[in-house]
Amino acid sequence: MPFTTSGLHHVTAIGGDPQRNADFYLRTLGLRLVKTTVNFDDPGTYHLYYGDEIGRPGSLLTFFPWRDAPPGRVGTGQATTTAFSVPEHSIGWWKQHLEDAGVSTSRVVNRDDEDALHFRDPDGLQLALVAHPQGDPRDPWDTPLVPGEHAVRGLHSVTLSVTREDATAGMLTEGLGLRFAAEDGNRFRFTAGDGGPGATVDVQVTPDAPRGLVANGTVHHVAWRAPDEQTQAAWREELTDRGVEVTSIMDRQYFRSIYFREPGGTLLEIATDQPGFTIDEPLLELGQALKLPPWLEPDRERIEHALPALDLPAENNPGQQVRA
């Protein structure tokens, strides 16, 4: 297998009201808004990127937040749970912090030596905070809203729900270069390299669950890292040769993307690490202004007019004047 991803790049989900979405991920979860742009395929909708200070691959959860989004249904053929990595000593702090913010949480569960706390975002998206016993070396976004000591380190993993695991396992191992790591009842864990936070996917076999419906409160797709455009292009060829229906390479401004479905139904993406989020605005100003790709700039006035205003916490851009 010539191509092997190094781990998760981002997860993209559908949300409801953009302000409520931003308040939850910035103020309650303490992530940074690293880009405010629009859905390139539907420029009447925001595309909000949350991550660490610079939006490193593996730290990103992104949303198409849409006030009129119809409710989705969590089920098979979907990434049902998105988990973030936090320090081991912080799980108790987070339980209290979320409860103080009015978010109901599960009891802390231990699986595979990892403590996990489950909860939902305001639109019902299933989330978890997971503490890996070996820790997570990634630098957090340190803000007064969530102190660095406890802050999210990046994505930990996603859980894919399927009716049977064999074909999905084949795609993860042969298509993405992941390796089978562990089995626990109806859960199969696959990892990139040695695994750990940001390099883990759990496949949960739930033949009796309803079929998932991608809309508000559900994951749209899961993206995996490719180091560069040359690798991505060759990877695309290899997937095509294997009979996988892959899109053409799309310019997402902050990375290049190809998309395809794993046999269980979840939409997957392979995204490049480059060029990243500082390509069109300075690090200190990330997320503050609406950024559009060159091909949408001629429509800026109409696009801006159609989008609801967003009020960001000042902590997102310390030392900067936040736009009104």
- Interface with Zn ion, residue 273, by CB under 5 A: no
Starting at the edge strand found earlier in the chain, the sheet holding 200-205 runs 109-111, 114-120, 126-131, 78-85, 154-162, 200-205, 187-191, 179-184
Site string for Zn ion, 138-167 (x = CB under 5 A): ------------------------------
- Interface with Zn ion, residue 12, by CB under 5 A: yes
Nearer to Zn ion, 25 or 119 (CB): 25
Cα separation, 186 vs 169, whole angstroms: 13
Nearer to Zn ion, 50 or 119 (CB): 50
Nearer to Zn ion, 63 or 188 (CB): 63
Please report how close the Cβ of residue 53 comes to Zn ion at its closest, in angstroms: 20
Nearer to Zn ion, 12 or 266 (CB): 12
- What do you get for the CA distance between the two ends of the chain, in Å? 51
In order of 46, 122, 123, 169, 172, the CA distances from 216 in angstroms are: 14, 10, 7, 27, 26
Q: What's the chain's length in residues?
A: 324
Helix extents (H) in the chain: 18-22, 91-100, 166-170, 229-241, 300-306
The rounded radius of gyration (Å) of the Cα atoms in the chain is 19
Look up residue 281 and give its two tokens. 């605005």
Cα separation, 299 vs 295, whole angstroms: 9
Nearer to Zn ion, 108 or 249 (CB): 249
Q: Which of 223, 246, 258, 312 binds Zn ion (CB under 5 A)?
A: 223
Please report how close the Cβ of residue 138 comes to Zn ion at its closest, in angstroms: 20
Q: Which of 114, 115, 262, 269 binds Zn ion (CB under 5 A)?
A: 269
Nearer to Zn ion, 97 or 291 (CB): 291
Number of residues that bind Zn ion (CB under 5 A): 3
Please report how close the Cβ of residue 8 comes to Zn ion at its closest, in angstroms: 11
Please report how close the Cβ of residue 165 comes to Zn ion at its closest, in angstroms: 24
Question: Nearest 5°: phi and psi at 238?
Answer: -65, -40
Please report how close the Cβ of residue 58 comes to Zn ion at its closest, in angstroms: 13
Query: In the complex, which residues of this chain contact Zn ion (CB under 5 A)?
Result: 12, 223, 269
